[in-house]
Chain A
C-alpha cells in the first residue's frame, strides 16, 4: 500500500514540477489545448453533434429497425 502511495505521490510531484518549470511556449500551447478541448467537448459535442440514433431512439432494437428501414427505402441520388 505504502509503495503504491509513494508511486502515485512521486508521479504527482513529477507532473507538478513539470508544469511549474514549463517554459512560456509550453504554457501557451496548454492554453490552446484547453480552449480547443472546451470547444470540441462542450460547444461542438453538446450543441452541434448529438449521436442521432442515440438521441432519437431508446433501444438498440429500435435503432436497428430504423437503419433497416433506411437501407430498404432510401435511394441514392448522389452523382
Chain B
C-alpha cells in the first residue's frame, strides 16, 4: 500500500523548523564572536592592569551575558522537533547525528556553563589570570558547541563515514573521524564561526558609535571600536576565504545547489562569475521553470577559475545535472531515480524475507547492503527513489540565487566597514565623522540578515533533500496532524518573539545605562 504524505504537513513542519532555527540563530553568533572580543579586552586588562580595560570588558560582558542567557536552550527546541516532527529522519540518521550532539552536550556545554559563572561572579574573587582563563574557556566552549552542531548539519549535506543497516533501518557510524573531518564540516565550521565574529564586531562598533553620537563614554567607545575593528577585519578576510572554499566544496558534493547559487542552467567552460544579476522567467522551458539572468554584471571566466583553478574547466549547469551529460561523466537524475528504486526494491525484498523467516535470504540481502559497490552505486541514490520527475531535484533557484549574492555583497561591505573603522580610529578622525558613526549604528542588523541569508542558501539550496541524495524532506516527516504542527508553530512564534523583545529591551536599557551604573 502506498501512503501519501500530506503536503501541508510537510510545509508546516518545515516552516516550524525554519522559524525556530532562525530565531535560535539570532542569539548564537553574537555569543560566538563577542566571547572572543571579551577575551581580547580582558587580556589587555590583565597585561596592562588598566582599569579602563576592566570597565570596558565588564560592560561588554554584561551584554554578552544578556544575549547568552536569553538564547541558551532555545536550540533544545530543535531537538524536540527532531523526535516529534521528524521521527523517520531521527531514526534513519541513527548515531551519526546523536554522537556529535552528545559530545556537544557533555564537553562544550559543561565547559561553557561552568566557567561562565566564574566570568560573572568571579571578578575580584578569583585571580586575574584565572578569570581570564575562564573567559578564554567560555569562548572556546561556545565555539566548540557550534562545531558539533555544524558537524551534524554538514553530514546531512555530505553523508560520510557510515553504512546503512537494513536490520535496524538506521545508518551506523563507521568512522567518527570521517564524520568530524568531513570537508563540508570543516568549511562550514570556519565560515559560520567567523560570520559570528564579524557580526559581533559590527555589534560592538555599532553600539560604540552610538556612544560617540551621544557624546558619552568616548574613551571606552574608541577602545572598543579599535579592538572590534581589528578583530572584525581579520575575521572578515577569513570569512571571505572560507566562503570561497565552501563554495568549491559545494560544487563538488552538491552541484545542483552550486548551479542554483549562480542560476547556471547550461553547463559551461570558461564560466563567468555573476557579481550582480536579476532573474526573469524564461517562457519556453516548462518543466524546469528556467530563469534568464537579465541585467548581469559578470567577471568572465572567474567561476571556472575559482571552482577548479582553471579557466577552461567545466561547470555543470542545472540542465546537465537533471538530464545528464555523458561527455562530462554526469549521470542523469532519471538514472539516479532508477538506481534508487533498485535500492528500495532490495529493501522491500529484505523485509519480506525477514517476515517469512527466510534467514538464508536475509543474510544474502544483508551482505548486499554491506557491499561497498552497492552502497556507492545504488544506495547512495536511495532518496531518488521517491522523486517523481527529474526536475524535482532542483531547488527554488531565485531564493538561492538572491540570498547567495546578497550575502556575498554584505560580506564585502562588512570588510570595507571594518577597514574604515580601523583606519578612522587609528588616525583619530572617527570622533568627528558623524555620518560614519551613523553608518556603524545602522549596520548592526546587517550581519544578522547576512547570517540568515547564508542559512537560506544552505538549507533551501539542498532541497528536496533532508539528507543529500539519501532522504527527501517529505519522507523524513512524522505522521502528525497538520493542526498540531500549526499550533506549535504559533506557540513558538509567540515564545521566541517574547524572548527577542525581552533581549532587546533588557539590552537597550543596559546600553543606555552604560558602564557607569555597573560600577556603582
Contacts and interface: CB of A to CB of B under 8 A. Distances in A.
Interface of A: 14-15, 17-19, 23, 25-26, 28-30, 32-33, 36-37, 39-40, 44-45, 48-54, 60, 63-65, 67-79
B121 A71 contact: no
B339 to A, nearest CB: 16
Interface in B466-494: 472-475, 478, 480, 484, 487-488, 491
A79 B388 CA distance: 9
A64 B80 contact: no
27 contacts: A14-B117, A14-B125, A15-B121, A18-B117, A25-B62, A26-B120, A29-B70, A30-B69, A36-B70, A37-B73, A48-B491, A49-B488, A51-B83, A51-B84, A51-B87, A52-B87, A60-B168, A63-B91, A64-B91, A64-B169, A67-B91, A67-B92, A68-B351, A72-B344, A72-B348, A74-B2, A75-B4
A29 B506 contact: yes
B335 interface: no
Contact of A45 (B66, B80, B125, B386): B80
Interface string B437-477: 00000000000000000000000000010000000111100
A17 B84 contact: no
B393 to A, nearest CB: 12
B306 to A, nearest CB: 32
Given A25-B510, A40-B77, A18 B87 contact: no
B386 A74 contact: yes
Nearest to B382: A71
A37 to B, nearest CB: 6
B73 A40 contact: yes
A36 B84 contact: no
A69 B344 CA distance: 11
A72 B351 contact: yes
Given A44-B80, A48-B491, A68-B166, A77 B474 contact: yes
A69 to B, nearest CB: 8
Nearest to B5: A77
Nearest to B10: A78
B117 A71 contact: no
B283 interface: no
Interface residues of B, number: 63
Q: Is the interface of B mostly helix, strand, loop or mixed?
A: helix
B91 A53 contact: yes
B7 interface: yes
Contacts of B3: 73-75
Contacts of A71: 88, 92, 169, 344, 347, 475
Contacts of A44: 77, 80, 488, 491
B364 interface: no
Interface in B112-137: 117, 120-122, 125
A72 B352 CA distance: 11
B40 to A, nearest CB: 24
Contacts of A53: 83, 87, 90-91
A78 B69 contact: no
A15 B101 CA distance: 28
B435 interface: no
B84 A50 contact: yes
A22 to B, nearest CB: 8
B73 A36 contact: yes
Given A52-B83, A78-B5, A70 B472 contact: no
B347 A68 contact: yes
B125 A76 contact: no
Given A25-B509, A30-B69, A48-B487, A68 B169 contact: yes
A57 to B, nearest CB: 10
A72 B509 contact: no
A45 B475 CA distance: 24
Given A48-B84, A71-B92, A77-B7, 18 more contacts: A14-B125, A23-B518, A25-B66, A29-B70, A32-B499, A33-B69, A39-B495, A49-B83, A52-B83, A64-B91, A67-B169, A68-B169, A71-B344, A73-B3, A74-B475, A75-B3, A77-B4, A77-B474
